[in-house]
Amino acid sequence: MMRPLACCHRNKGVSVDLDKDQNRVNVMMTYDGLESCLRSSYSYDNDTASLDEEQLSTCSSSSKEAYGYGSSSFSSQWLLSNKQSGYEQEAALKALPPSPPLPPSPPVYAYTMRSSDIDAMKDKFVKILLGEDVSGGCKGLTTALALSHAITNLATSTFGELWKLEPLCDEKKSRWAREMEWLLSPTNYMVELVPAKQSGVNGSVLEIMTPKARSDVQTTLPALGKLDTMLMEIMDSMVNVEFWYGEGGSSSSSSHTHIHGSKKNKKRWWLPSPQLPNAGLSIAQRKKLGFQGKFVHQVLKAAKSINEYILLQMPVPGSIKHAFPKSAKSILGQHVYRLIAIETNHPLDLDTLNLKTDHTVLDIINRLQGAVFFWKHKLSTFTRKTPLLNSLGFVLPSSENHRIEVAMERAETLIQSLKLRFPNLPHTFLDATKVQHNRDVGYSIIEAYSRALGSLAFSILSRIGDILQEDDLIKPNITTDTAAATIPSQTVEN
């Protein structure tokens, strides 16, 4: 049985930075700043706690249920349901206030099975069973890794880069629902043996092992399904909005919006760019986008927490120790090693690191994880020493032991800070190696599913941030534009 999801205990503020530094070669979207951008969407009205009924109607029953028990996030509610069991869980559920009645909504995963879908299902499962080796030889992947690849490829082909905030077409939604049901079907047959008592014929009590649905899978997958439904409903609500998208390189967009957004979009001019009215978004529209951004933000944190927890449960392959140098200083480099292991009395400052590109950030995290693995291996090696070697003095001094533990704690703190600031980074070397060598099919499915949902949530959050940032570029000129509506937009550029 899995331990409670400790990652959900973190009460850390997270945001996305939409301010792009022109001096950077490769600008990344981070958490720093998005929260303030979303909060600024409420600055046009002091009454930020409520929305019109018409605006709230876009959120479905599942999203309301997720926030029907107060201000707690989805991840904390999932942790509560995972941590409690038996009578304690039943008592906790009874103590919760009742949910308000909700109007019925059509199911997101409704689809019709066709004969062609049967052939597609056969083709997909044949590839999984062959381990993506169509020759049927010995080069095929494991079942766990093949399922992980199948879920990742399905999410990529369905959502892509998601450059527009608009509902998915019915064909893509149906395909996502249908094929995800296929790929999740093995979890319906995953069981674990638990001890139980059975009365014998002569009245004796026998202790036997009975099959039970695997608790970690049966707890996590419904939570991920809820997050999936929430994201689909957010995308379905992007209708009758006050923004639209101009195709990359086209000149059909309004000149006012083009002037204000030219600097921001010049790095990706060929992609669809958000277009707004000359007066910008209305108060109601901006308020609604801010509410949806905060909602997707909670979904992103929950998906990332589940993914990080599953990665922690995956064992580290024994062969990985040969991939790292034999000293922490060689792994980290001079600057990072001094920050982590020598200057222990100084607070960790991310600004002292080179965080200009995603490649450098990923390289720093890889080095930190390698150092933590090296230190853990070093401590465990000395712990396993025989009493004879211990008596001969082959043990770490207490001061050295304490120094390593402090350095490990600082390195893990820095890793979490970097992952929170740059949430859309690819897998680190250690995590990718865990997934590559993982044999647990349940872990593989949960990891791939949560990673796909986290990527989708980040894309939606980024697109909302693009629109709010575009509106911020227009808003300082609203008074000038409304006062002199007949003046061409070129004269209002400054």
Task: Report the alpha-carbon distance of residue 192 to residue 313 in Å, rounded.
Answer: 17
What pLDDT does 16 receive? 36
Topology of domain 6-314+438-492, CATH: Methane Monooxygenase Hydroxylase; Chain G, domain 1 (1.20.58)
Residues 6+ apart with CB under 8 A from 225: none
Highest mean predicted confidence (pLDDT) among 40-49, 114-123, 269-278, 455-464:
455-464
* Residue-averaged pLDDT of the chain: 73
**pLDDT bracket for residue 403 (50, 70, 90):** confident
Torsions phi, psi for 310 (to 5 deg): -65, -40
| Strand ranges inside 166-320, DSSP E | 191-199, 205-213, 244-246, 273-275
Q: Residues 186, 445: contact at Cβ < 8 Å? A: yes
The two structure tokens encoding residue 307: 């993914």
Task: Report the alpha-carbon distance of residue 202 to residue 221 in Å, rounded.
Answer: 42
Q: Residues 100, 66: contact at Cβ < 8 Å? A: no
User: Average pLDDT, stretch 272-299?
Assistant: 91
What pLDDT does 389 receive? 55
- Residue type, position 136, single letter: G
Burial of residue 163 (number of CB atoms within 10 Å: 0-12, 13-18, 19+): middle
- The SS3 of residue 273 is strand
- The SS3 of residue 57 is coil
What pLDDT does 452 receive? 96
Q: How many CB atoms lie within 10 A of CB 337?
A: 20
- Residue type, position 238, single letter: M
pLDDT, tens digit, 9 for 90 and up, residues 291-310:
999 999 999 999 999 999 99
Is residue 27's pLDDT more than 60? no
Tokens 């994880």 map to which residue?
369
Is residue 387's pLDDT more than 50? yes
pLDDT, tens digit, 9 for 90 and up, residues 471-481:
888 876 544 44
To the nearest 10 degrees (0 to 180), the angle between helices 441-474 and 170-184 is 150
User: Average pLDDT, stretch 88-104?
Assistant: 43
DSSP assignment string, 259-287: HHHHHHHGGGTTS-EEE--TT---HHHHH
Residues of each domain in the chain carrying CATH 1.20.58.1310: 318-434
Tell me the whole-structure pTM to 2 decimals.
Answer: 0.71
Task: Report the alpha-carbon distance of residue 128 to residue 188 in Å, rounded.
Answer: 17
DSSP assignment string, 72-90: --HHHHHHHHHH--HHHHH
Is residue 220's pLDDT more than 80? yes
Highest mean predicted confidence (pLDDT) among 25-29, 86-90, 366-370:
366-370
Is residue 50's pLDDT more than 90? no
Region of 162 (left: φ > 0; alpha: ψ -120 to 50; beta: rest) is left
Per CATH, domain 318-434 is 2.40.160.10:
no
User: Average pLDDT, stretch 357-375?
Assistant: 89
Is residue 398's pLDDT more than 60? yes
- The DSSP letter of residue 491 is G
Residue 211 CA from chain centroid, whole number: 32
Residues of each domain in the chain carrying CATH 1.20.58.2010: 6-314+438-492
- The SS3 of residue 27 is coil
Residues 6+ apart with CB under 8 A from 15: 31, 32, 33, 34, 35, 36, 37, 38
Torsions phi, psi for 17 (to 5 deg): -85, 115
Task: Report the alpha-carbon distance of residue 63 to residue 97 in Å, rounded.
Answer: 17
Q: How many angstroms separate the Cα of 134 from the Cα of each of 183, 340, 438?
A: 19, 48, 22
